[in-house]
Structure 1
Amino acid sequence: MTARREGRVYLVAVGTHGDVLPIIALGVALAKRGLAVTLAAPAPFCALAERAGLACHALGTQDEFSEVVRAAPLWRPIRGARSLFSAVARAAEPTFRWLEANCRPGVDVVVASSLAVGARVAQDRLGLSVVTLHLMPMLIESRLAPPRLPGLPLPDMLPARLRAWLGRGADPLVIGPAALPGLNAFRGRLGLPPVRRLRHWWNSPQRVLLATPSWYAAPQPDWPEQLVQIGFPLADLYGDTDGLTQDVAGFLAAGTPPLVFTYGSAMSQARRFFATAVETCRRTGRRGILLTGRPDQVPPDLPAGVHHAAYAPLSRLLPSCAALIHHGGVGTVAQALAAGCPQLIVPVAFDHADEGRRVERLGVGATLRRRRFTPARAGRVIGRLMSSQSVAKACSDVRARMRCQDGIARGCDEIERML
């Protein structure tokens, strides 16, 4: 291990497991390179960070986090965005105050997730060096290749510039009214001018890291000049456990490769999804694993061929499974790509529809809207995915590509350059 250097890295992650675990993985890798690292994250994740050897400052409380993720509007395409960005604005001042008290301008570096906008306020007010880390390509605007926004399923046959113009309507109609009043009131108290468009301002003018490879999200000429693509930061081993439990391992060994169903770590509106999962397994004669830390979302009295697990690292689980059916979070997508596992995406909100479109273009999976996710349709689509030679070849090709990328190492390289 190299000697410790003067500059310290302050990591700020705002969000759920998919947002926080990659930041924890970055922190561990930076510490192994001899850097002093401290993390700020929502209170529920501090135990995971400390288990990984990182000092962690809690942003908010467990109850405050639970109140946000259990709110029903969060899991709707448009209302979810409003609920999310309202919470993002509330987190700005605690983040700013933590950085103000600890981070040294010109010496230390801040690495902030997309929603950690308090770090951008600190950059504007205190002159801190900030790296913005975007985990999903949907967060990068482009007139040439606009992402698919939740609740706005515009057909690809429309001209790209028209889709981009329509997508910008999310700023004055959804994002701005939810985030900017609270954020700009705080900036005003600091003597800073108001932010006009959050999705433009949240990019650090110094460095932006996009955590996907170029073959997944092709770089565009109108992307920010300071943007660098680093590849997927596979980080599932920093979750609740870094291995399979005896129950899960035993279930895998007891029969044919199962289907895996998960709807995200924070999803609290998944009863219908898991009920459909159980019936899909029954109709297809397939075994299944239901992954959720919320047992109240799982149907009671599961049949013998269906197993519930609170958590399992997908990198350990998916190589032994037949297919993955999930919400479309980019971290889950990446794990399926790495395992060469076909995937069916049932989008909820946020980036899920956009990731689904990218998975379809790669030829490694399919999507079904929530209303169309029935046992009959799901069974037919899963059957086609598992029997298709073209899907099998595409999964194999993508798995080989994934072996050649390391988003964690590339991210560390870029952060070190900032020091």
Structure 2
Amino acid sequence: MSHILLLPFGTSGSVLPFIWLGRLLLRRGHRVTMITARIHEKLAIRAGLEFVAVGNDAVEEMLSDPNLWRLGHGSKVAYQHAGRATIDYVDAIEAVIAREGMPDVMLAPMICFGARLMRERRRIPLVSVHLYPMMFVSPYEVPLVIPVFRWLRLLPLWARKAYLALPNPLDVFALPAVWKCCSANGVTRPLSLWRQWWHSPDGVLALFPEWFSKPRPDWPQNLLQWNFPLEDMAREQPLEAALMGFLKAGEKPVLFTAGTGHFHAEKFFATAAALTLKLGCRAVFLTSKTSQVPADLPSSIFVAAYAPFSTLLPHASVFVHHGGIGTIGQSLAAGIPQLVVDMALDQHDNAERVVHLGVGLSIRASRFSIERALPLLQRCLSDQEMRLKAQEYAARIRANRDAGPMVEWLEGKFMTAR
């Protein structure tokens, strides 16, 4: 039996794919421990994983910062807090080693810098787990990191290569804390997280299908590209009786969410409420902070703190959301049109891909108003070609649910006995 460490960093949308991986590995008889922020402990324990909390509150502080969801600021905020969390992940991994010996492999996103540091210090194999295509910044397909990157695509290939060879400005927000931790642990400091620590030499797992983002010539050679991890804890948390009653009481509602980690979405929900009233349709608002929704909503709008998408979306007509990759994957699996209100981080690139597939439309959060969003939402509700295209991709996802080959790839490459 191998011992695997899962080391996600971020919102529950960033943690659920690792729970999916953990469940698969548990079924194969492996021991699985998740190391992350304490706010995710209940999720991990309910999924049957062992859990170790990191010793600081970097994730909670990151989620409380409204700049996380602002265009041009989100990545800076994420890097700052991820850099600060490096020492916390290192200490947590070292504590596991002191109690139980060396783990066999670590699975972590690039932004968990502590995992990469421990690979260098302890020689523990590390698989980089990339959840969305923006993690592959390639001149052959320049991702929409920020909207102005569209101009970069107009340049010839040599110019795109030259531009992307420049230093990554985000490095400066994380490197000081990473360097300090490297010095304390006798690890050579990376000159660039972007150049040296982006993809693990041991292996890279991309959890999105090729039809969502085709592999490019400069992607890592030691990579396996798989499908969306559609984990939402539906087995542990069925739809609430009150929500089920609402869904059965009338026509399919429009579903709105700004993401589980967005604690500053008052404007989003105010606009959503106005759109719903304008259209005369029913709606479900999902937010972990229900104080964000307007007071005195009509009975045609139901507010819930959480509901598993895999069981809720079949009851919805259209999904209006922030563009998180997990939300997009669930929307595609449900086969319903999407209106993406992209805010920051990977969401601009994800939104563009939704539009390219023909399964939805997008509008930047800064432009999300009743006047601009109303015709887009009306089209999502009425466009039968869009709905048929969404159902086509849902069928593709259903046809590729067996994750056995992916687990075997992990086992064959990394989980041999020490």
Q: Aligned partners of 1:85 and 1:338: how far apart in 2?
A: 31
**Where in structure 2 are the equivalents of 1:252-267 lying within 5 Å?**
252-267=247-262
Q: Which residue of 1 aligns with 2:376?
A: 381
Q: Aligned partners of 2:133 and 2:318: how far apart in 1?
A: 24
Contact 1:233 / 1:408 at 8 angstroms: preserved in 2?
Answer: no
Is the aligned partner of 1:392 residue 2:398?
A: no
One-letter code aligned to 2:61? E
Is the aligned partner of 1:208 residue 2:208?
A: no
Is the aligned partner of 1:91 residue 2:82?
A: no
**CA shift in 2, pair 1:187/1:225, >3 Å:** same
Q: State TM-score, norm by structure 1.
A: 0.92
Q: Which residue of 2 aligns with 1:119?
A: 115
Q: Which residue of 1 aligns with 2:180?
A: 185
Contact 2:58 / 2:82 at 8 angstroms: preserved in 1?
Answer: no
Is the aligned partner of 1:368 residue 2:363?
A: yes
One-letter code aligned to 2:87? E
Q: Aligned partners of 1:226 and 1:181: how far apart in 2?
A: 29
Q: Which residue of 2 aligns with 1:351?
A: 346
Q: CA deviation at 1:96?
A: 1.9
Q: CA deviation at 1:283?
A: 0.6
Contact 2:132 / 2:346 at 8 angstroms: preserved in 1?
Answer: yes
Q: Which residue of 2 aligns with 1:228?
A: 224
How far does the alpha carbon of each residue in 1:249-307 deviate from its partner, in whole angstroms, 9 at most, with x for none? 11100110000000111101210000000000111111111000101210000112111
**CA shift in 2, pair 1:408/1:117, >3 Å:** farther
Is the aligned partner of 1:273 residue 2:251?
A: no
Q: Which residue of 2 aligns with 1:324?
A: 319
**Where in structure 2 are the equivalents of 1:235-254 lying within 5 Å?**
235-237=231-233, 242-254=237-249
One-letter code aligned to 1:205? P
**CA shift in 2, pair 1:407/1:184, >3 Å:** farther
CA RMSD of aligned residues (A): 2.1
Contact 1:340 / 1:395 at 8 angstroms: preserved in 2?
Answer: yes
**CA shift in 2, pair 1:295/1:32, >3 Å:** same
Any idea what SS the aligned residue of 2:150 has?
coil
One-letter code aligned to 1:345? V
Gaps of 5+ in 2: none
Any idea what SS the aligned residue of 2:88 has?
helix
Q: CA deviation at 1:143?
A: 1.4
Q: Aligned partners of 2:67 and 2:73: how far apart in 1?
A: 5
Runs of at least 4 residues of structure 1 off by over 6 A? 104-107
One-letter code aligned to 1:54? L
Number of aligned residue pairs: give it.
410
Q: Which residue of 1 aligns with 2:29?
A: 34
Q: Which residue of 1 aligns with 2:277?
A: 282
Contact 1:292 / 1:309 at 8 angstroms: preserved in 2?
Answer: yes
Any idea what SS the aligned residue of 1:212 has?
coil
Tell me whether 278-287 or 184-193 shows the greater mean CA deviation: 184-193
**CA shift in 2, pair 1:133/1:293, >3 Å:** same
**CA shift in 2, pair 1:64/1:123, >3 Å:** closer
Contact 1:131 / 1:207 at 8 angstroms: preserved in 2?
Answer: yes
Contact 2:318 / 2:338 at 8 angstroms: preserved in 1?
Answer: yes
One-letter code aligned to 1:274? F
Q: CA deviation at 1:199?
A: 2.7
Q: Aligned partners of 2:152 and 2:131: how far apart in 1?
A: 23
Is the aligned partner of 1:301 residue 2:296?
A: yes
Percent identical residues: 35
Gaps of 5+ in 1: none
One-letter code aligned to 2:330? Q
Contact 1:9 / 1:38 at 8 angstroms: preserved in 2?
Answer: yes
Q: Aligned partners of 1:394 and 1:48: how far apart in 2?
A: 33
Q: Aligned partners of 2:266 and 2:208: how far apart in 1?
A: 31
Q: Which residue of 1 aligns with 2:190?
A: 195
How far does the alpha carbon of each residue in 1:156-200 deviate from its partner, in whole angstroms, 9 at most, with x for none? 86136445655666x543x11101111112112323222122233
Q: Which residue of 1 aligns with 2:104?
A: 108
**CA shift in 2, pair 1:373/1:117, >3 Å:** same
How far does the alpha carbon of each residue in 1:216-256 deviate from its partner, in whole angstroms, 9 at most, with x for none? 110111101111101111111269x5321111111100110
